[in-house]
């Protein structure tokens, strides 16, 4: 009799563990989609159907990492001298750029225009900032987790003007 109870408890424990693992996997899949793919260059044609026509370039801005999130959102990670980190996300208009990944509560909201492009800026004085704009059928998000005062203002024209994604014929 004790062996049957022990066997039933063991089977129940294994089934419970299997259910918990399945639920955890489903939650991870729903949060992170189908994954993240690394790229050597910003051509996401095969998976997402777009590529970068132009990206910011200058002596202090360096592109460090290129990836595609959930098969639909490009993520370009930059370093700005001396060692500030920036994350640029781009997707087709209406794509979920996953702003919540940056977990910031911004105190100030400002809207500026750069060459007829509306740029929404969320910022904390002397700290983190997030810039959002749309151009040519794509939505852009530039996250500056920590920055020096004025850095975001100097980078806005560079990124808004020089970042351009286009449809890719390799999709």
Write down the residue that tokens 């693992």 correspond to.
21
CA distances from 153 to 61, 132, 167 (A): 14, 13, 29
DSSP 148: -
Measured CA to CA, the distance from residue 96 to residue 98 in angstroms comes to: 5
pLDDT of residue 171: 47
The answer to whether 117 and 133 have CB atoms below 8 angstroms apart is yes
pLDDT of residue 76: 96
Buried b (16+ CB within 10 A) or exposed e, 106-116: eeeeeeeeeee
Measured CA to CA, the distance from residue 68 to residue 48 in angstroms comes to: 8
**Consecutive 10-residue averages of pLDDT for the chain (171 residues):** 79 72 59 72 92 90 93 93 88 92 78 88 80 95 74 76 86 47
pLDDT of residue 30: 47
pLDDT of residue 139: 97
pLDDT of residue 68: 96
Nearest CA to 69 out of 27, 33, 30 is that of 33
Instruction: Please give the model's pTM, rounded to 2 decimal places.
Output: 0.75
pLDDT of residue 149: 52
Distant-in-sequence, close-in-space partners of 114: CB < 8 Å, separation ≥ 6: 133, 156, 157, 160, 161
Distant-in-sequence, close-in-space partners of 101: CB < 8 Å, separation ≥ 6: none
Measured CA to CA, the distance from residue 65 to residue 78 in angstroms comes to: 7
């Amino acid at each position: 009799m004790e062996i049957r109870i022990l066997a039933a408890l063991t089977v129940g424990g294994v089934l419970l563990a299997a259910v918990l693992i399945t639920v955890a996997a489903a939650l991870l899949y729903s949060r992170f989609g189908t994954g993240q793919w690394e790229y050597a260059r910003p051509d996401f044609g095969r998976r997402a159907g777009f590529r970068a026509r132009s990206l910011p370039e200058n002596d202090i801005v360096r592109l460090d990492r290129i990836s595609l999130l959930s098969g639909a959102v490009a993520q370009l990670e930059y370093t700005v001298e001396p060692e500030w980190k920036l994350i640029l996300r781009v997707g087709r208009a209406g794509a979920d750029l996953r702003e919540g990944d940056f977990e910031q509560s911004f105190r100030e909201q400002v809207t500026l225009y750069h060459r007829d492009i509306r740029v929404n800026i969320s910022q904390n004085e002397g700290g983190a900032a997030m810039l959002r704009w749309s151009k040519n059928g794509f939505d852009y998000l530039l996250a500056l987790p920590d920055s020096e005062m004025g850095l975001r203002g100097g980078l806005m024209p560079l990124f808004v003007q020089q970042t351009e994604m286009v449809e890719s014929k390799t999709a």
